[in-house]
Amino acid sequence: MSSAPDVVIVGGGAIGAASAYELARRGARVTVLERSGDASGCSYGNAGLICPSHADALPNLGALRDGLTWMARRDSPFRLRLRPGLVPWLARFGAAALPRRSAHATAVLRALARASLERHAALARDGLATGFARRGTLSVYESREAYARARAGLRSASASARARPLDAAEARDLAPALAAGVAGALHHPGDAHCDPAALVRALLDAAREHGADVRTGVELLRLERANGRIVALETTCGALVPGEVVLAAGTWSRALAHGAGVHVPLEPAKGYHVEVATGALAGGIPIYMEEARVIATPLDGRVRLAGTLELAGLDMRVDPVRLASLRRAAGRMLVLPPGARTVHVWRGLRPCTPDGLPVIGRPPGVENLVLATGHAMLGITLAPVTGELVADIITGSPPRHPLEPLHPGRFRHRRNQGGRCSP
């Protein structure tokens, strides 16, 4: 396996695939290392929404309140399992949840999401079979109180992000599969969705057409660093000598980067999906059940019910209680055929940073390493724009978007004159 490609991308999910495509079409000799198969990682389980309307930073005061309130409930949408190793991350999360910082992070994410949505549309126009459809998204509310709060929030939204309020009857006209108990809805007409697995496969296939070497079943064991560079990659299939390395391995990026002396404070957040064989939403619009934090996405011959977020470390066990919460939400809010068959159950770990922003850029002290991780639940939304930014960094092109808020160095600590560490 010994070779010397221009760029080695570690991770073949949405972020790695988009980076491979952008670099290969600019002429780089790219090798992608994916430890499983195409589109089989966390990207596969995503709800598939491409949604600037919901590109909010995870740290906010509401999330803190909900996390503490729901901590003891196994079926809650957002759950924390406290453990010593989580405490420093939570401290940073709490600081990032302050209104000014949270609003800034959300503004950064929404700008990136809007640009990435247009790139998704361009990929579809170029013939990539990603399942892209721009029909908007529908946020539905069970209680009148929650719907009233959502409508009140429209007054503070920018014109470009403002949704259209719908009463229950109007919502069912737009999405006939909605149940009678819906109090109201907001329609976000600018949003879109895709098939996550199809997106990753299409990007990797397009990268291959531009000469990329995509190697599945190959796991990176260690990054060897010397004199401020990554000089070799030790893999399960031998050694690689890279020119540049892009670390896009999702949650696993933290341990791999740590081996090269780079600290990235990522926490894995476990999510689930349940797929039901039904055409109830065929050709329709994705439905976001806001209070339950569950999304129903129409895919080919099935409906994907995705949601929940659990900070539980690297625990990959399937919790039937959390799966049941997805089905209960769908039972309350949707009219699905009686006895509709479950065709797939999935769980995966999303990489979350404590400030809610992805990590994109070169870490201090390693001149040929680029990190592209920490996208939390927005990996599918932000994949195309991340691929462009990674390619800009490696080719030395002016970046299309400001990189400072995303820079890996923002998590470093410095010692002040009093000897204490400060962020």
Question: Is it the case that residue 422 has pLDDT exceeding 60?
Answer: no
Q: Strand 7-10 relative to strand 244-247: parallel, antiparallel, unpaired? A: parallel
Domains of the chain: 7-136+190-422 (3.50.50.60)
Mean pLDDT for the stretch of residues 326-352 = 92
Is the Cα torsion angle 374, 380, 386, 391 positive or negative in sign? positive
On average, the pLDDT of the chain sits at: 91
Banded model confidence at residue 36, pLDDT cuts 50, 70, 90: confident
CA distance 75 to 346: 16
Question: Is it the case that residue 182 has pLDDT exceeding 70?
Answer: yes
Q: Which residues contact 7 (CB under 8 A, 6 or more apart)?
A: 23, 28, 29, 30, 31, 242, 243, 244, 245, 246, 394
CA distance 240 to 231: 9
For residue 415, the tally of other CB atoms under 10 A from its CB is: 9
Banded model confidence at residue 156, pLDDT cuts 50, 70, 90: low
Instruction: Please tell me the chain's helix, strand, coil percentages from 3-state DSSP, rounded to the nearest 5.
Output: 35, 25, 35
Global pTM reads 0.93
What pLDDT, on the 0 to 100 scale, is given for residue 416? 35
Is the Cα torsion angle 291, 294, 295, 301 positive or negative in sign? negative
First-residue to last-residue Cα distance in the chain: 41
Banded model confidence at residue 161, pLDDT cuts 50, 70, 90: low
Q: Which residues contact 78 (CB under 8 A, 6 or more apart)?
A: 63, 66, 67, 70, 293, 308, 309, 310
DSSP string, 288-356: EETTTTEEEEEETTEEEEEEEEEE-TT-----HHHHHHHHHHHHHHB---TTPPEEEEEEEEEEE-TTS
CA distance 67 to 135: 32
pLDDT in tens, 368-414: 999 999 999 999 999 999 999 999 999 999 999 999 999 999 987 53
pLDDT above 90 covers what percent of the chain? Answer: 80
Is the Cα torsion angle 120, 123, 125, 131 positive or negative in sign? negative
Question: Is it the case that residue 41 has pLDDT exceeding 90?
Answer: no
CA distance 332 to 345: 20
Banded model confidence at residue 419, pLDDT cuts 50, 70, 90: very low
- Helix (H) / strand (E) element for 273: namely strand 267-276
For residue 338, the tally of other CB atoms under 10 A from its CB is: 5
